[in-house]
Structure 1
Amino acid sequence: MKKILPLFSYLFHPIFIPLFGTIFYLFFIPNYFEFNQKYLLLIQILIITIFIPISFYYLLRTLGKVDSMMVSELSQRKIPLIIQAVLIVTLIQKSITIDRVPELFFFFFGGLISTLLTLIFLFGKIKASIHMIGISSLTAFVVGLSLHNQVNFIYYIAFLILMNGVIASSRLAMKAHTNIELGIGFLVGLIPQVALGFFWL
Structure 2
Amino acid sequence: MPVFGVLFYFFLNENYFIPAQKYLLLIQVSIILILIPIAIFYLLRTLGKADSVMLSDVSQRKIPLAAQAILIGLLIMQSIRVDIVPELFFFFSGGFISTVIAFILALANTKASLHQMGISTLTFFVIGLSLHNHKNAIAIIAVLFLINGLIATSRLYMNAHSGKELGMGFLAGMLPQIALWYFWL
Task: Classify the TM-score, shorter chain.
Answer: over 0.9
Secondary structure, aligned partner of 1:58: helix
1:105 aligns with 2:89: yes
CA deviation string 1:78-134 (max 9, x = no partner): 000010001001000000001100100010000111111111111222111111110
1:125 aligns with 2:90: no
CA RMSD, Structure 1 to Structure 2 (Å): 0.8
List runs of 5+ in structure 2 lacking aligned partners: none
Given the alignment, which residue of 142, 145, 159 partners 1:158?
142
Secondary structure, aligned partner of 2:88: helix
CA deviation string 1:140-172 (max 9, x = no partner): 000000000011101100000011110000111
Hey, what does 1:72 align to over in structure 2? 56
Q: CA deviation at 1:174?
A: 1.2
Q: 1:36-185 to 2 correspondence within 5 Å?
A: 36-185=20-169
Distance in 2 of aligned mates of 1:66 and 1:123:
16
Count of equivalent residues: 185
Query: Which segment drifts farther, 25-34 or 99-108?
Result: 25-34
TM-score normalised per structure 1:
0.90
Distance in 2 of aligned mates of 1:119 and 1:21:
22
Matched residue type, 2:8: F
Would the aligned equivalents of 2:80 and 2:88 in 1 still touch at CA under 8 Å? yes
List runs of 5+ in structure 1 lacking aligned partners: 1-16
Distance in 1 of aligned mates of 2:84 and 2:38:
27
Identity of aligned residues (%): 61
Secondary structure, aligned partner of 1:30: coil
Q: CA deviation at 1:29?
A: 2.4
Asked which structure has the greater RCO (Cα within 8 Å, sep 6+), the reply is 1
Runs of 4+ in 1 over 4 A off after TM superposition: none
